[in-house]
């Protein structure tokens, strides 16, 4: 017999109290746990499992939540929403002058409502050698376990289909939930990424939050439990010769042996469940400098790359409902450029291109971004690179109806 969640929660609290008393916890410690649960439930509208948040490494001491319209969940106000939790443990370990620090965010939303995805812009950074929290770059990885989920250096996001639900009178087709640390916090991380203990809890929290949101909005689908073991994120960039995941197609192409192409990659494991699959080709410092110096006289205004990863080509495949809400960066317009399934082209004058296909009846949008400066040297040479990427991902996913930009779109502006 399935026990109702409300009953399970009450039983769990009683068992927790009994256990705490049994191991000699003081009244103050018991009060902190009960108060923490209340703070999390109030801030997160009962969607985020308080017991799992309390098990996170930074969750010790006294907890509080942000008391504002932004930072507390109110589903009557529409989606997306988030809740923000503080603790004195995080404050003490981080040297906060106020005695507490924001350490956890639980967020929920509906795909296509309020949040839109965009690929990298030509001016963005893909490698973080001197970031504010660490000097590590960790490409996101799929969660696995048959769940549409992504693990990052701060947390876990999952998606759940929702055939019959609605939010504020609006029908929804897919929901998402995220459980994350506020930042890659050094005192509670392993080299700028969550520990194995925290990765598992963040995954459980995201899945439970998604299922509770689905139940609240009338969706019939539910996600299974996440995998018991979630691998640690792998640092990048790595040499092309080691590419085995989303960038393996580039290793097989042999292009890395020649200029003006990249000699390193940022990649993840392949997983057809994810809504955003990414591969980034990166020029190492030496190759980037050599390429720039060879064309210095031809390209006025193009600065020598001064940081690792400044020259790159980034590729994404957006799938399903997410593919209907992709916006491409553009400096020629006040708004990002919307792309439609079944089309292909370039984002105005920016070195950002898209192609499209249909995989198992669902739309897919494929994009390529070349970094500023690198595009002026390498745009024409990347028509065949983009085509090789699209050919690989559509073959892996069994896609048809591929639309690809015209050759004239790959000009070096």
Reported as a single tens digit per residue, the pLDDT across 192-222 is 899 999 999 999 999 999 999 999 999 999 9
Question: By the 8 A CB rule, do 322 and 367 touch?
Answer: no
Spatial distance between the Cα atoms of 81 and 278, rounded to a whole number of angstroms: 26
At residue 185 the predicted structure's pLDDT band, cuts being 50, 70 and 90, is low
pLDDT tens for 35-77 read: 999 999 999 999 999 999 999 999 999 999 988 777 899 999 9
pLDDT at 224: 98
Q: What is the pLDDT of residue 303?
A: 77
CA separation for the pair 106, 201 (Å, rounded): 13
The rounded percent of the chain whose pLDDT value lies above 90 is: 70
pLDDT per position as a tens digit, 67-106: 877 789 999 999 999 999 999 998 887 777 668 899 999 9
Read off the pTM.
0.90
In this prediction, residue 229 carries a pLDDT of 95
> Is 9 a residue whose pLDDT tops 60?
no
Residue 174 to residues 167, 218, 321, 388, Cα–Cα distance (Å): 11, 12, 7, 31
Q: pLDDT tens-digit profile of 135-161?
A: 789 999 999 999 999 999 999 999 999
Mean pLDDT score across all residues of the chain: 89
Q: Report pLDDT digits (tens) over 342-384.
A: 999 999 889 999 999 999 999 999 999 999 999 999 999 999 9
Q: Determine the Cα–Cα distance for residues 338 and 356; give it in Å rounded to an integer.
A: 13
Angle, CA 234 vertex, CA 365 and CA 241 arms, to 5°: 75
Give the model's pLDDT for residue 347.
Answer: 93
Secondary structure (H, E, C), the chain: CCCCHHHHHHHHHHHHHHHHHHCCCCHHHHHHHHHHHHHHHHHHCCCCCHHHHHCCHHHCCCEEECCCCCECCCHHHCCCEEEEEEEHHHHHHHCCCCCCEEEEEEEEEECCCCCCECCCCCCCCCCCCCCCCCCCECCCEEEECCEEEEECCCEEEEEEECCCCEECCEECCEEEEEEEECCCCHHHECCCCECHHHHHHHHHHHHHHHHHHHHHCCCCCCCCCCCCCCCCCCCECEEHHHCCCCCHHHHHHCHHHCCCCCCEEEECCCCCCCCEEEEEEECCHHHHHHHHHHHHHHCCCCCCCCCCCCCEEEEEEEEHHHHHHEEECCCCCCCCEECCCCCCEECCCCCEEEEEEEECCEEEEEEEEECCCHHHHHCHHHHHHHHHHHHHHHHHHCEEEEECCCHHHCCCC
């Amino acid at each position: 017999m399935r026990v109702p969640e409300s009953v399970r929660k009450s039983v769990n609290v009683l068992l927790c109290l009994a256990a705490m008393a049994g191991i000699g916890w003081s009244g103050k410690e018991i009060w902190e746990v009960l108060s923490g649960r209340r703070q999390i439930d109030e801030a997160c509208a009962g969607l985020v499992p308080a017991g799992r948040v309390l098990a996170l490494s930074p969750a010790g001491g006294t907890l509080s939540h942000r008391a504002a319209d932004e930072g507390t969940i109110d589903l009557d106000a529409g989606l997306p929403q988030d809740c923000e939790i503080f603790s004195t443990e995080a404050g003490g370990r981080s040297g906060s002058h106020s005695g507490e620090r924001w350490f956890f965010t639980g967020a929920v939303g509906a795909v296509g409502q309020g949040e839109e995805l965009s690929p990298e812009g030509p001016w963005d950074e893909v490698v973080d050698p001197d970031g504010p929290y660490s000097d590590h770059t960790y490409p996101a990885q799929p969660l696995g376990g048959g769940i549409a989920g992504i693990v990052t250096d701060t947390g876990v996001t999952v998606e759940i289909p929702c055939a019959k639900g609605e939010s504020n009178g609006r029908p929804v087709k897919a929901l998402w939930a995220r459980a994350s640390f506020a930042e890659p916090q050094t005192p509670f991380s392993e080299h700028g990424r969550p520990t194995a203990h925290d990765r598992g809890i963040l995954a459980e929290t995201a899945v439970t939050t998604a299922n509770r949101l689905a139940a609240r909005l009338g969706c019939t689908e539910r996600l299974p439990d996440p995998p018991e073991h979630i691998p640690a994120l792998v640092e990048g960039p790595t040499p092309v010769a080691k590419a085995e995941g989303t960038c393996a197609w580039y290793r097989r192409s042999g292009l890395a042996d020649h200029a003006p192409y990249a000699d390193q990659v940022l990649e993840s494991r392949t997983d057809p469940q994810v809504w955003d699959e990414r591969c980034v080709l990166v020029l190492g410092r030496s190759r980037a400098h050599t390429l720039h110096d060879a064309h210095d006289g031809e390209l006025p205004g193009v600065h020598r790359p001064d940081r690792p990863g400044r020259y790159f080509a980034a590729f994404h495949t957006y799938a399903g409902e997410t593919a209907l809400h992709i916006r491409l960066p553009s400096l020629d317009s006040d708004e990002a450029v919307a792309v439609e399934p079944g089309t292909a082209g370039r984002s105005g004058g920016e070195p950002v291109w898209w192609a499209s296909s249909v995989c198992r009846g669902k739309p897919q949008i494929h994009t390529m971004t070349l970094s500023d400066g690198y595009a002026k040297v390498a745009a024409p040479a990347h028509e065949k690179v983009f085509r090789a990427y699209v050919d690989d991902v559509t073959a892996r996913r069994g896609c048809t109806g591929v639309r690809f930009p015209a050759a004239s779109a790959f000009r070096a502006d």
